[in-house]
Structure 1
């Protein structure tokens, strides 16, 4: 029976964001195709340039794949920047004139809003703003907001509404959480947050799907999120053996909190297995502490 973990000697790509260390094996070697621009890719071996296929319909499977990839990047970005607590807020901004379907207008309105909010609070604020479509086609925005100096952030609902000036708003404080990204994204998609690659899973496998049907509402090609230039960092990305990366992040001897694998069929029928593992560094510390207590009690 195959072990439910990646071989310690395997080469992996790791993404580290917030409390999470995510590791995945690759298809092996350097990818054959390299992106040149938004419309073209080049074959590294033959030098042939080919056109990139762009989805034109919401129902196009390529559109669904693109959305999954976007939400994966968003989840990592949120995890790298927001952990919940006194310096962070989650704002929901809606429009009274419905349906409002212009994403360009939303981002322009948001830029004015954030300028007013910074002036009102007299604080340096960083943000990630995410568009969510409703079944009517109307758009509204979810914003994760934090102070750069980690000082307490409080803004009254009435002050946010005045700065927004477009419709209903809601202000809530994010509780300290190991996974703010999953908490927010549960409101934005029907993606199984443990299954962002979309592989087939057992019918009995636990899922983290809160809302259904959201992905089918996103217009093709819409920029789903933006963030401030200052105060927002990308997830750390690195490659190396699984063993060395676990050692770097003090995970040696700790089993993953979640493991998955799926097969990818390449040309000529050759199959590769992709494996992924997720670790919580806080849980790893707790596991090690409990193990030390257990070991000392046996002496």
Structure 2
């Protein structure tokens, strides 16, 4: 499959059907020139499927790690990004927490168990709140947890030492999300990219690198520094079929609908267009072509 990013957007007929995703302050419009009317395959079991175009029974190619399953990884991170945006419309109601193990803890089942127990302890102290928690694998094999706590009112003060006592497994940091107007994009950036030094120390395979980016930050002395990150390198660390994120029962889903492009633009008219991309897909072997266009609108961006 050949994938090409186009420099110029395509002109969309106002009456064409698009997918409209409404998620808090963010609205996404996605247009596909070719609309799917059904699946190409029918799954028979975990190992076999039928190609509906030819009738052949074929075997699935099982993956060894997440970096070989980029489509599913992208879908998981997009769902997480959309969930965050759908549920966080006022950052003063939220806190961003990172939970770190003191030991080199590598058991995904224990990770889930420890997280659930910590949430129970924290709710006894700070009252009820909703949460979205994502797991981040480290180069040394251990796990981190990143959580967003969402309160009905302004978020209370969460002292690091109190949260650490509830965690009981190591260290915690608690941060505000001031001046972040696209929380989903901001927070999911932690989960795919890996700092260059960490990737080199962990001997992480880098054949799936998408590039290196530099991120500016302010150190403990107030001095601006830069770090280099390898895009997508951390995806290699996720086990196959691992649930990247978990959420509480009160977390709402984005609203997704199929409407005309004209109607979608009307719904997004009060928001600012902040990003767009147009992608051409071509599979010569299967005589398949399509063009996708994405538009993102932010209602609080000035």
Scaled to the shorter chain, the TM-score interval is 0.7 to 0.9
Alpha-carbon distance in 1 for matches of 2:44, 2:76: 17
Cα separation, partners in 2 of 1:49 and 1:159, compared to 1, 3 Å: farther
Match of 2:96 among 82, 90, 93: 90
Mapped partners of 1:263, 1:271: distance in 2: 8
For 2:107, the equivalent position in structure 1 comes to 102
For the aligned residue pairs, the C-alpha RMSD in angstroms reads 3.2
Query: Where does structure 1 lack aligned partners over 5 or more consecutive residues?
Result: 192-202, 287-299
* Aligned counterpart for 1:22 among listed residues 21, 28, 32: 28
Deviations 1:79-104 (A, max 9, x none): 11124533211111011111x11111
The aligned runs of 1:216-231 (5 Å cut-off) are: 216-230=236-250
Q: How does 1:6-85 map to 2 (within 5 A)?
A: 6-7=11-12, 8-26=14-32, 27-33=34-40, 39=46, 53-58=61-66, 60=68, 63-85=69-91
CA distance in 1, matches of 2:78, 2:275: 16
Query: Of residues 130, 136, 139 in structure 2, which corresponds to 1:135?
Result: 139
Match of 1:215 in 2: 235
In 2, Cα distance between the equivalents of 1:168 and 1:243?
50
Match of 2:178 in 1: 175
Contact 1:32/1:43 (<8 A) preserved:
no
Per mean C-alpha deviation after superposition, the further-off stretch among 40-49 and 129-138 is: 40-49
Q: Is the 8 A contact 1:94 1:168 kept in 2?
A: yes
Q: State the match for 2:153 in structure 1.
A: 150
The answer to whether the 8 A contact 1:188-1:214 is kept is yes
Provide closer, same or farther for how the CA distance between residues 140 and 36 of structure 1 changes in structure 2, counting only shifts above 3 A: same
TM superposition shift of 1:42: 6.7
Equivalent position SS for 2:170? coil
Matched position secondary structure for 1:110: helix
- TM-score, normalised on structure 2? 0.76
Q: Which has the higher contact order (CA 8 A, sep 6+)?
A: 2
The structure where strand makes up a greater share of residues is: 2
Measured after TM superposition, the shift of residue 181 of structure 1 is 1.2
Number of positions where the alignment pairs a residue of Structure 1 with one of Structure 2: 263
CA contact (8 A) 1:189 1:211 kept: no
Please state whether the residue corresponding to 1:211 is helix, strand or coil: strand
Given candidates 255, 269, 277, the residue that maps to 1:260 is: 277
With normalisation by structure 1, the TM-score equals: 0.76
C-alpha displacement of 1:66: 1.6
Return closer, same or farther for 1:84/1:30 CA change in 2, 3 Å cut-off.
same
Inter-partner Cα distance in structure 1 for 2:275 and 2:258: 20
Alignment-derived partner of residue 291 in structure 1:
none
How much does 1:14 deviate? Answer: 1.7
In structure 2, the gaps of 5 or more residues are: 1-5, 195-210, 216-226
Q: 1:167 to 1:42 in 2, by over 3 A?
A: same
| Residues 101, 151 of structure 1: alpha-carbon distance in 2 compared, 3 angstrom cutoff | same
Match of 2:261 in 1: 242
- CA 1:238–1:282 in 2, change beyond 3 Å: closer, same or farther? same
8 Å contact kept, 2:7–2:278: no
